[in-house]
Each structure stands twice: as C-alpha cells, then as structure tokens.
C-alpha cells in the first residue's frame, strides 16, 4: 500500500507461472495509475488484440482519478486468457483483510487518503456516499467495505507479485538475484527503489516499473523505457499520472524467444512541427520529485527565478509548478534543458509560454523557442 507500514517480511509473494506460446506478441505496461485515457491510448497505439498477451506490471491503481473504474475494467479484461496483472506497491489493498493486518495501520490509511485524495479507497468511500475528508476513523469503513466489495478483495488478493514466464520475469519493482522467486516476500518484488542504481543483474530478463525512468537522468531526462541488455533489466515507468510531461510506455516483445524489443508510448499532447533550427543548450539541470526544494528568488506571474536548494543551481520555473507561495517550496519536475531541434522535427507540446514551448522530442523534455506549425 502507499503508506509506510508494510506487510510482514515473512509473508510469501504470490508467483504465477505463465506459459506463453511461441508466435504470440507480448505487450507490457506498468504504472497506469488510474489513468484510463492513457491506458486506452497506448493499447490503441500498440494495436492490441486477443492474439497478443497483455501484462500489466503493477501500480494500475492510485494517483490518477479513476482507480475504481479502471479496476472494474481490469477485472473484466482479466477474464480473458491473454490478460495478466502483477501487483504493485499501490495495488495491495486486499492486505487490509489478511489475518496479520495491524489495526493501527488504519490511522495511516486515513492520513494517506486525505493527503492523496485520489485512491481506490477514496472512490469506494464516495460510492458509498461518504466524504473521505469528513472521516475521523477508517476502521468502520474497512468493515463496511469488507462485505460490500468482497469481489474486489478476492480479485486483488489473488493478483501475483511476479509472473514467471521462463525467459522473462515480470515484477513491479525488482527481484533478488540468485533467490528463487517463490522465496521472495512481496516487498522484495514490489518495493525496490531505483533498481538500475543498484548493481543487480540477472540471467533472464526482468521487466519492472515502479521507478519513473526520468528519475535516472541528471541534466536531461527521457521518459522512454530503459533497456539494459547487459544486466537484463527493462525499466518501463514513463511517469503516467505523475509528471506533467509523463507518458505511458508499452514494451513490445515480438515473441517469448525474442529479444528484439520495441515500444510505443502514449501521451495526450498536441504535436507541432518545428520551423526553425535550434542548437542544444549548454549546461542544464532537471529538478525532480524527491529533491525538488527550491528557494524562490524572484516570483513572477508566469516564471519565477529559483535556486535549487541542494545544488544551488538556478533556473526559471513555471510559477504554476511551484507547490506553495512560500520562499522555499517544492515544485513539479522542471528543466531548463534546451532541446536540439531540426527544421521539420515533430514536437509534442507540454506547455505553451510567452517565451516558447516546453516540449518533448523522442521522449526527452526541454525548451524550444523557435517558430512552430501546429498539426494537432
């Protein structure tokens, strides 16, 4: 769950063995985070059909606006033989009904709900006619939901923490090298932060989400999947529902025996054609989640001059990206990277500003100040 108290480490993960016949294409999507338009968008881009095997690699719930609706959609889709879910650290709400659940965790859940405001449990409260912000105690809700949503808990409580498909393991966040899958705890599979920053490597492919790929970059970042062929790790999370410039990635594996990977990515941004050449900027920085405290040096209506607290790096940040009006505040992910652009390049426009556009080109976000021809 998305709060600090985790399942006892002694608990064993659920592992699903999956036999995928040769000749079937495999689609892998992670971290949909309750975002139905992105999910439908990427399935359409991938031309998904019943001939394909679809694997949703965890964190389908929370953070986006339609957790309950998406869950019901997935419960329906999962009745097909070709759709398989993996449990992420945001999907394990059925744990509330396990015998070793500690009652005091309800206090964390209430805090989490009222802070996050977008959650499966929030949607369930609303469906039952309660305003989650008015709740003083989550315990009565937990009891009310137990019977009312028995079907949901039974569904979520059976979603595996990893799928073992032979050449490939699909887990939400990680896997301990050398340890048999069945011996993992749920947290060892769904809670490993920044897997690519560890020294882990594998002898079969491990496909994960969990850690938005843009968190791995420094001065410039890219939202496309990272495919590390040496360590056999594929990291998929493109920041869907979390980042202003996020996208939902779908890995395409042509066949269970193939390593000829490709991907499609969906975001809803309008496209435009660059009409002018732009040289890549020099020094740049990317301020991101978890390390986003800035001191506001000069607050403007559209842009504010800010100094990143940890590094001292200065850049202009969109004022609407600042969390508060305080002198020191966190902010949405921000960059001053100037994109290299050729005439005729198609850009995906994240923000229009008086200075130019914040745009994506090949998954990389940065600024473009030249003329544009709008295409969609």
Q: Which residues bind Mn ion (CB under 5 A)?
A: 31, 59
Q: How far is the CB of 187 from Mn ion (least distance, A)?
A: 14
| 35/82 with CB nearer Mn ion | 35
Dihedral-angle region of residue 239 (phi above 0 means left; psi in -120 to 50 means alpha; beta otherwise): left
Backbone angles phi, psi at 203, to 5 degrees: -100, 0
Structure tokens at 263: 């991907």
Q: How far is the CB of 175 from Mn ion (least distance, A)?
A: 17
Name the closest residue to Mn ion (Cβ): 59
Q: How far is the CB of 191 from Mn ion (least distance, A)?
A: 11
| 31/336 with CB nearer Mn ion | 31
Q: How far apart are CA 197 and CA 206, in angstroms?
A: 15
| 59/92 with CB nearer Mn ion | 59
CA torsion angle for 71, 73, 75, 78 (degrees, to 10)?
A: -130
Q: How far is the CB of 163 from Mn ion (least distance, A)?
A: 17
- On the CB side of 114, CA atoms within 13 Å amount to 14
Radius of gyration, alpha carbons of the chain: 22
| 132/246 with CB nearer Mn ion | 246
| 59/123 with CB nearer Mn ion | 59
Structure tokens at 192: 């490993």
DSSP 271-327: EEEE-S-BPPPSS--EE-TTS--EEEEE--SSEEEEEETTT--EEEEEGGGBSSSSS
| 31/345 with CB nearer Mn ion | 31
Q: How far apart are CA 105 and CA 101, in angstroms?
A: 8
Structure tokens at 71: 């869950």
Q: How far apart are CA 357 and CA 161, in angstroms?
A: 41
Q: How far is the CB of 213 from Mn ion (least distance, A)?
A: 12
Structure tokens at 137: 């105690």
Q: How far apart are CA 160 and CA 17, in angstroms?
A: 10
Q: How far is the CB of 59 from Mn ion (least distance, A)?
A: 4
| 91/336 with CB nearer Mn ion | 91
Q: How far is the CB of 36 from Mn ion (least distance, A)?
A: 16
Backbone angles phi, psi at 282, to 5 degrees: -80, -115
| 2/335 with CB nearer Mn ion | 2
Q: How far is the CB of 171 from Mn ion (least distance, A)?
A: 13
């Amino acid at each position: 769950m998305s709060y600090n108290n985790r399942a006892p480490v002694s608990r064993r993960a659920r592992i699903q063995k999956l036999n995928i016949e040769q000749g079937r294409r495999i689609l892998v999507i992670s971290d949909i985070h309750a975002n139905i338009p992105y999910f439908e968008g990427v399935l359409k881009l991938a031309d998904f059909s019943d001939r394909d095997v679809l694997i949703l690699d965890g964190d389908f719930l929370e953070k986006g606006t339609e957790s309950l609706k998406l869950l019901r959609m997935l419960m329906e889709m999962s009745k097909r033989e070709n759709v398989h879910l993996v449990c992420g650290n945001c999907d394990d709400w059925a744990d509330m009904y396990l015998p070793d659940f500690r009652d005091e965790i309800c206090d964390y859940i209430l805090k989490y709900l009222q802070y996050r405001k977008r959650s499966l449990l929030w949607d369930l409260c609303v469906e039952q006619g309660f305003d989650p912000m008015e709740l003083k105690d989550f315990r009565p809700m937990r009891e009310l939901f137990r019977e009312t949503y028995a079907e949901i808990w039974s569904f979520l409580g059976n979603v595996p923490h990893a799928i073992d498909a032979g050449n490939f393991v699909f887990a939400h966040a990680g896997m301990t090298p050398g340890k048999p899958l069945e011996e993992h705890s749920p947290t060892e599979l769904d809670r490993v932060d920044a897997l690519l920053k560890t020294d882990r490597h594998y002898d079969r492919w491990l496909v994960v989400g969990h850690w938005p790929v843009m968190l791995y970059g420094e001065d410039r970042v890219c939202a496309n999947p990272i495919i590390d062929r040496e360590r056999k790790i594929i990291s998929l999370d493109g920041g869907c529902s979390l980042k202003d410039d996020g996208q939902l990635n779908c890995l395409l594996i042509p066949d269970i025996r193939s390593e000829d990977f490709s991907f499609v990515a969906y975001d809803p941004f309008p496209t435009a054609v660059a009409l002018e050449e732009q040289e890549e900027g020099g020094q740049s920085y990317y301020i991101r989640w978890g390390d986003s405290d800035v001191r506001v040096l000069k607050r403007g209506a559209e842009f504010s001059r800010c100094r990143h607290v940890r590094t001292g790096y200065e850049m202009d940040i969109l004022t609407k990206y600042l969390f508060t009006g305080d002198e020191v505040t966190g902010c949405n992910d921000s960059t001053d990277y100037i994109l290299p652009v050729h005439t005729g390049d198609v850009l995906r426009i994240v923000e229009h500003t008086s200075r130019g556009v914040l745009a994506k080109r090949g998954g990389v976000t940065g600024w473009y100040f030249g003329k544009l021809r709008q295409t969609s």
